[in-house]
Each structure stands twice: as structure tokens, then as C-alpha cells.
Amino acid sequence: MNPPVEGRCDECGFDYDEQDLAGVLDRLGRVAGEFGGLLAAAADDAVRRRPDPDTWSALEYSCHVRDVLDVQTRRIAQTLAEDVPAYVPMNREQRLVDERYGEQDPAAVTRELESRAAEFLAAAAALDAVQLERTGIYNYPTPKERPLSWLARHTAHEVVHHHLDVRRVLSARPGMGCLE
């Protein structure tokens, strides 16, 4: 089941209806900063191991979050430069293969994730009330015009939700599935 893109996510507890965008962005920053500690505290084989063929490894999730932050930062800039742009899908499954997520250096991924989180937060925090209402066509789960205020919340949800995924994957034992 895919996480929601509106309302409350029952799995991770993220709430798109949280009124305080500054608080949402603060949470994104705090949680993004925790990925490195999770990866550093685990053995290399645990970071790279998939608990099952359909579940990404902790390293793969971390690479995805890093790339989401980069893509979303570019989408903010695109939305400020264009009237209602149609965002190019990031093709997450293909990117995982093409970029060889599972083979990347966890320390480098951590540094890049933290840097991209800072860049996203700076771009999002600089938006004024009028800019937050500028829209683009977001393709997931279906094409829909969405404001930058939603894009900021959705990015925070990606970070929070995949942080939970990383914790689950790292707590999984081979052959036992993911544990909470």
C-alpha cells in the first residue's frame, strides 16, 4: 500500500493538514539529520540488505530521500520560474537501478542527504505566502495541480515516512520480515 498524499498517514503519523508549515519544515530538518546516525550505527551488510525482494534496503531508502530532496528543490525553482509547470517524474524505481543505490557509500549518501535537506529547507523557508500558493502539476499518484505549500508538506512526509522505513529495515532479521 502506498502512503497517502493528503490527510494523515496512519503508518508514520505525518499529517498533511498540520497548519504550522514552519513546524513541518523543522521536523523535516530534524528527521533528515537522523539518517546518518541510523546508517552509521548499523553494520555495512545490514545497511545494504533487503529484508525481502520487494522492500528496499536502508541505504536504498536513504539514497531515495537524498534524491527526493534534490528533485523537490528543483521543482520549487521551476514553479517560481514557470506558470503551472508539469513536473517530470523522478522515476524512482529506474533511478534505484541506474544510480546503483545499493552500492553507494553510506557516509557519502549521509553527507549528500544532509546537504540536500539544507538546500530544500532554505528554498522552502524563503517562499512567501503568495509563492506558497503557486502551483505545478504533480504526477503522483495521479497528475494533479498542487501548490508549493503541499509540495513542502509532501517532501516532509517523504522524509518522515522513509525514516520509519529505514528503522524498520534495520531492525529486520533475515527471513523474519520487518519488525517495529
CA nearest neighbour of 159 among 17, 39, 55, 25: 25
pLDDT of residue 4: 80
Write the pLDDT tens digit of every residue in 77-88. 999 999 999 999
- pLDDT the model gives residue 111: 97
pLDDT value at residue 20:
93
CA atoms within 13 A on the CB side of 11: 14
pLDDT (tens place) for every residue of the chain, 180 residues total = 577 889 999 999 999 998 899 999 999 999 999 999 999 999 999 999 999 999 999 999 999 999 999 999 999 999 999 999 999 999 999 999 999 999 999 999 999 999 999 999 999 999 999 999 999 999 988 999 999 999 999 999 999 999 999 999 999 865 433 333
Give me the pLDDT at residue 174, please: 54
Range 88-95, long-range pairs (CB < 8 A, 24+ positions): 89/139, 89/140, 92/64, 92/67, 95/64, 95/67
Residue type, 57: S
Domains, the chain:
21-171 (1.20.120.450)
Q: Residue 94 is placed in which grid cell?
A: 529506474
Q: What is the pLDDT of residue 43?
A: 94
pLDDT at 173: 61
Predicted local confidence at residue 177, as pLDDT: 38
